[in-house]
Amino acid sequence: MAFAANYFDCYKIEFSKFNYKTEKNGYGITYLKQWHQKRHLIVHRLGQTDEQYRKKYNSDESYIILNEQELSDLFDVMKKFADYIEKKLSQYVLTHQADNVVEIIVEVIHETALQHLEPTFEIKVKKNNYIPLSVILKTKEVKHDGIYTITLSGIYAYIRKYYKILRKAESAGKLKIISMETISLAPTNRKIKPQPWDDVERVLKILPEKPWKKHIHKEIAKQLGWSNSKVHSIISYINNEKEISLSQIKKSITLNLGEEYTFLPTIKPAELIDNICFYSPDSSAIEVNNRTIVAIGEGEAIVSVMVTGTSYKEICHVTVVNGSVKI
């Protein structure tokens, strides 16, 4: 992760307050930033420094030259920095929250059905809004020829929409659903009791689009032969779901070297706006500072946009060129 951000946005950890002192020296975030840049120069320029580096760090070195003591000091400081982050995170309750988990075993009858099991397979979750299967795909295993076990985890509504796609493919004779087992269901409102998957599916087949008329639960209960209270609980469970819709996130961006771009996302439900996090794996092309990316080197990078507390994820491909382009 690049060190351009002054704090870890998701948890408000201020990197600038990190300070580690030894008998001889003091180390802070500037020291780690410089080593991050040194690593970039060593990997991509064979250690040759550039004017930007020499000016920024007041250095006259033409090449980065390492020695054993410097590396030892670096590893020591990195360990202390990791301890600092861990200590700051300890103020949060980081226990694993229950999630919606479903295991489905399918038999592929026609090879065209294999696309439904690929992580890149797109699921329509809302009008003009698609997510890849990878967002909810936890594991995929091949039991034997043509038999696959897939475990889904994440937003219940997304899992249900994917399951409906599989059922449609089954109706077309492309695959066969051998079994479906609910491992766990976790409503977003803990006061609402989780409901069995199959029961929810049966209600959904009958439940019309909103707005629902008064006492709709009684009509459905009569059709299914269930109690009014049971159907009312299931409808409350369904109504409590919060589907996430994130917009104003470009799928691809091209930047000039040294240029900046700031994401201005919108999200539904609106109260999740502070849960949006932007990050990029260690990249020589960009640095991520909160919602702003800075082009620091020619090449390509991926910015992942996530909503903490959920499995929602968007991807933006960034290309950095040394020329004149428009975003």
H, E, C per residue of 54-92: HHHCCCCCCECCCCHHHHHHHHHHHHHHHHHHHHHHCCC
Q: Are strands 13-14 and 7-8 parallel, antiparallel or unpaired?
A: antiparallel
pLDDT of 151 reads 94
Q: Is 222 exposed, middle or buried (0-12, 13-18, 19+ CB in 10 A)?
A: exposed
pLDDT, tens digit, 9 for 90 and up, residues 3-53:
444 444 555 677 888 888 888 888 888 888 888 888 888 888 888 888 888
Low-confidence residues of the chain, pLDDT below 70? 1-12, 89-98, 185-195, 197, 240-243, 282, 308-312, 324-327
Q: What is the CATH number of domain 98-185?
A: 3.30.70
Q: What single string gives the DSSP state of each residue in 253-293?
A: EEEETT-EEE---EEESGGGGGGEEEE--S-SSEEEETTEE
Asked whether 131 and 141 are in contact (CB, 8 A), the reply is no
Written as six digits, the tokens of 285 are 């092309």
The one-letter amino acid code at 130 reads Y
The one-letter amino acid code at 3 reads F
CA distance 20 to 22: 7
CA distance 288 to 303: 8
The one-letter amino acid code at 295 reads A
Q: What is the pTM of this model?
A: 0.37
pLDDT of 93 reads 44
Written as six digits, the tokens of 183 are 């491992």
Choices 2.60.40.1080, 1.10.3720.10, 3.30.470.20, 3.90.1150.10: CATH for 245-321? 2.60.40.1080
* Stretch (H or E) spanning 34: helix 29-45
Compute the C-alpha angle 18/24/25, nearest 5°.
Answer: 25
Neighbours of 235 (CB within 10 A): 20
Helices 197-206 and 156-171 meet at what angle, rounded to 10?
70
pLDDT of 176 reads 93
